[in-house]
Structure 1
């Protein structure tokens, strides 16, 4: 009896093992990968070192969209290292000289940063004397290298634009484009009505040269020593020199409007990026 029971148990165990093998053969068992099996090679990561498609290069330079660039490339508007390129998909290196309609272009993303400048910062990239510069205030604004458009002297506060868009910077600093710059000047004494009328005539001589004054008025709600003056001249310290010529000392000077932009929501010493609409407005000047 004992032998038969043991034999029966053996047959049952054998049947169970066979059943497990059968189930495994039907897909329930997942094969573990061998450590000796070769892995599929990783796909190479594409970088700008492999070259940039010409249409992307043109688009990144701010000229137009990629789709528009394709049309203009086919029309022969693009040159790489002095050779006209009409091939779709042509790749360029960052070291190549790329021209579009004869003008040298750069694929770097264009940045536009507006700063509300405080006192005691000079408008320069660096200073040999170790004085504080405006670049210290905007160094976290963007990874691209940006530059101040025009200047504000050390003691003048207010709006200062930074960008790496060279064409726009030239436009905004050239007097012929009449870029509006409005200053709030605080004088050491009341500004006489006759002097206000003199500046209101529009032309004024400073150091033997004409300065065109677009508008001048007392600041509403303030004392007669507070004057708003609008000019488009880019001459150094020109507002201070205008009042100095009339015998007044400028105690405080603040640029409150530049090219239609105001200091709204920008605290002193802080900055913000321009909106797309603001950039479009500047390019339409």
Structure 2
């Protein structure tokens, strides 16, 4: 009997290469930022101040590169680079934006149990009675960018007032309201309902309770305040009290935000 012809391997297809096991080399400031300590710019300052050690030696050289296997120490603790996490929460009422609370109040972190193993922090804050979008991450660079006023990151709120807003007050607020800590000028504003008690306001100012203070200055009480847009993110398909991980496309969009930085 004739034997079977040997099967020849196909040619011309892609050849798979095994990944090497060489440790990854990155800039020291990025290593520190990836460990969730601070932004890369702030990490540069820590390095320049001689507060960072690599393999037991103080490093002050900006631009220094390290291996993922190197021992990097700051504040007496060995840093570990973490997987970057980006989580969006639709915050409910009566939760405070803090990591821990000594008064045993409900915190936003309790809503993220099991979301990831990494330590994440809220980007900015919403006060206890304000609902809506709140982003959490351990990406120090992005968090710094999204909260810095020079980037003018868009934030849109739906505001419910205790009484109809007058045409005069509407126009005055759009022109700018002088508060104790400076002039507050919304980017845009619109009346949403026929009774003129629900408005939409777009603002990039990140000062504490800024939206509530704007309307209180004109004699209105804010009954409800809901953040419906943050940067490029919306509440679509995200119910109150729930969270979701951002997809890679959304992360790229956030990182590409420049917002007309000065």
Give the gaps of 5 or more residues in structure 1.
1-50, 64-78, 99-104
Distance 1:212 1:120, change over 3 A: same
Distance 1:265 1:120 in 2: 22
The equivalent residue for 2:112 is 138
Which of 103, 116, 125 is the matching residue for 2:90? Answer: 116
Distance 1:168 1:86 in 2: 21
Distance 1:161 1:208, change over 3 A: closer
SS at match of 2:186: strand
**Structure 1 residue 91: Cα displacement:** 5.9
SS at match of 1:229: strand
Which of 230, 254, 263 is the matching residue for 2:202? Answer: 230
**Structure 1 residue 107: Cα displacement:** 2.2
**Structure 1 residue 56: Cα displacement:** 8.0
The equivalent residue for 2:43 is none
SS at match of 1:115: strand
SS at match of 2:206: coil
2:247 equivalent to 1:271: no
Distance 1:86 1:166 in 2: 19
Distance 2:98 2:129 in 1: 14
Deviations 1:83-135 (A, max 9, x none): 88889xx6624x3259xxxxxx9621110000000000000011111000000
The equivalent residue for 1:148 is 122
What does 1:1-285 align with in structure 2 at a 5 Å threshold?
53-55=23-25, 80=54, 82=59, 92-93=69-70, 95-96=71-72, 107-201=81-175, 203-219=176-192, 221-285=193-257
Aligned length: 208
Distance 1:166 1:214 in 2: 27
| 1:186–1:225 CA contact under 8 A, matched in 2 | yes
**Structure 1 residue 208: Cα displacement:** 4.7
Distance 2:221 2:127 in 1: 15
Distance 1:85 1:184, change over 3 A: closer
Distance 1:56 1:91 in 2: 8
**Structure 1 residue 54: Cα displacement:** 3.1
Distance 1:91 1:245 in 2: 53
Of structures 1 and 2, the one scoring higher in RCO (CA 8 A, sep 6+) is 2
The equivalent residue for 1:42 is none
**Structure 1 residue 209: Cα displacement:** 1.0
| 2:26–2:65 CA contact under 8 A, matched in 1 | no
Distance 2:22 2:225 in 1: 47
Q: If the length of structure 2 is used for normalisation, what is the TM-score?
A: 0.72
Q: Which has the larger radius of gyration?
A: 1
Distance 1:216 1:54, change over 3 A: same
Distance 2:88 2:65 in 1: 39
